[in-house]
Structure 1
Amino acid sequence: MKLVTWNVNSLKVRLPQVLDWLAAHQPDVLCLQETKLEDVNFPAAAISAAGYQTVFSGQKTYNGVAILSKTSASEIITAIPGYADVQKRVLAATIAGVRVINLYIPNGQSVDSDKYQYKLGWLEALTAWLTDELACHPRLAVLGDFNIAPDDRDVHDPKAWEGQVLFSLPEREAFQRLVDSGLTDSFRLFEQPEKIYSWWDYRMNAFRRNMGLRIDHILLSGELARTCKSCIIDKEARKAERPSDHAPVMVEF
């Protein structure tokens, strides 16, 4: 089974790239973030023609999540239960016996902003919910754009990013609490090359200079972690014309 996460930063713009990527890699499940589409405008027909079923939760201009899968999805949830939030950032479904939770975690803007406090509160609610999900679903994968680089290896210049949003200590501690709830960072299950990232700013020639951060993650329950064969970041996708600023991350069981 191949399971993938990819922040496409507008599915309307990136749909041809997504369809090409699906044809080339044939994942069983592809989780998308920042689709930026209202549900009525979601390109379900084009994706169906490529051999994938879809579930999605979106809004105009911002946010939006979708799950594309070769087999049907059930037990669908579109928000953290009991947490009031109008932003479309969560989509959970059970597919082929695996509980898949697709997340677009808030960016936080800056550490002195209200959006940063919203991010920390959102992460606290998420961690509480995932504890319950793990108890019900031993085969669980939590994946998406976390907007958090967990440690120094995940940042091109840790000193420059120290205390900044995406790499501040409270965010990294929140990420660790997620892991401590019973999850494993699949990327760190394997020996990886140095300076491998999943996001590069569009500015300052950041991609060409490899000034990136690893903020897109696939966290696995213990049962899935034991059967995980690989975790890779497809940097080639970032080289496309008009690319997303994120690259896909893929695990295989």
Structure 2
Amino acid sequence: MKIATFNINGIKARLPRLKEWLAETRPAVACLQEIKSVDENFPASELEELGYHVLVHGQKAFNGVAILTDGEAGYEPPKEVQRGLGIDGPKDGEGEQARYLEVDVAKSDGAATRIVCIYLPNGNPHPGPKFDYKLAWMDRLRARMGAIWAAEVPAAVLGDFNVIPEDDDTFSVKAMVSDALMQPESRAAYARLLADGWTDALRTLNPRGGVWTYWDYQAGAWQRDHGFRIDHVLLSPELADRLLAVGVDREHRGREKASDHAPVWATLKD
């Protein structure tokens, strides 16, 4: 079972790249972030033509997440468990942002796997209300992950966490030192998730770091390989024991009109 996460940075702008990636790599489950589309405008029919079932939690112009399951491989449509964490955005009266979608995924003849797709708040500028919101959101995420843990279901939490966990997860500590992605509070909140017993799949099989998932569009970051790791796959013990391989589809970042993120995937033993 191959599960993957991909911040596509706008479904309208990146649809050709998304379809290429799905056709070439064929994940069983694909978690998308930053779709920047309301549900009714999401191009579900084009992805269904590729054989994927689609569930969307969208928002106009900003944020938004979606989960795809490979119907051609025998997977049922994702069964929604929860959307949202019940926490409002940083502005008064803004309401909740579309950043969290939790589903059960299964084949018709198999047990379900809990899949959580997240787009964690960026938190910049730091300090300020957006950073406070980031930390509050991470606290709420931890509580929900604790509830999933207590249910003892095989589970994976995938997405753009907007956290650089360690110094060797960035091309330059100096360049990122003042960014919300690398603040001690952000790192500590992420570390608490791991301390609760979740496994960082990419770090586990790449313990020396140096693996990037994001390269900014500015200052030739891609060409100079000035990247960092903020897209993560966290596994419950039931799935961590089944981890076979993990990687980054780095080549897709170099294509024309690509997202500034590369897809991250993990292969699990059935």
* TM tier, smaller: over 0.9
Deviations 1:88-117 (A, max 9, x none): 000110002110000000001122121000
Higher deviation after alignment, 158-167 or 124-133: 158-167
Equivalences for residues 1-253 of structure 1 within 5 A: 1-70=1-70, 71=75, 72-80=77-85, 82-84=86-88, 85-96=95-106, 97-191=112-206, 195-253=210-268
Deviations 1:24-71 (A, max 9, x none): 111100000000001110111111100000001101110000001022
- Hey, what's the Cα distance between the residues in 1 that align with 2:163 and 2:124? 12
Higher deviation after alignment, 129-138 or 31-40: 129-138
How far the C-alpha of 1:192 sits from its partner, in A, is: 6.1
Structure-1-length-normalised TM-score? 0.96
**SS of the counterpart of 2:241?**
helix
- Hey, what's the Cα distance between the residues in 2 that align with 1:164 and 1:23? 35
Task: Judge conservation of contact 2:168–2:208 (CA < 8 Å) in 1.
Answer: no
Which residue in the other structure is 2:109 paired with? none
Task: Judge conservation of contact 2:164–2:230 (CA < 8 Å) in 1.
Answer: yes
- Hey, what's the Cα distance between the residues in 1 that align with 2:226 and 2:188? 23
How far the C-alpha of 1:135 sits from its partner, in A, is: 1.2
- Hey, what's the Cα distance between the residues in 1 that align with 2:35 and 2:178? 29
Task: Judge conservation of contact 1:163–1:169 (CA < 8 Å) in 2.
Answer: no
Runs of 4+ residues deviating >6 angstroms: none
**SS of the counterpart of 1:206?**
coil
Structure-2-length-normalised TM-score? 0.90
How far the C-alpha of 1:137 sits from its partner, in A, is: 4.0
Task: Judge conservation of contact 1:99–1:137 (CA < 8 Å) in 2.
Answer: no
Q: Unaligned stretches of 5+ in structure 1?
A: none
Count of aligned positions: 252
Aligned CA distance change for structure 1 residues 162 and 23 (closer, same or farther; 3 Å): same
- Hey, what's the Cα distance between the residues in 2 that align with 1:18 and 1:193? 30
- Hey, what's the Cα distance between the residues in 2 that align with 1:44 and 1:197? 29
- Hey, what's the Cα distance between the residues in 1 that align with 2:207 and 2:17? 26
Which residue in the other structure is 2:91 paired with? none
**SS of the counterpart of 2:180?**
coil
**SS of the counterpart of 1:166?**
helix
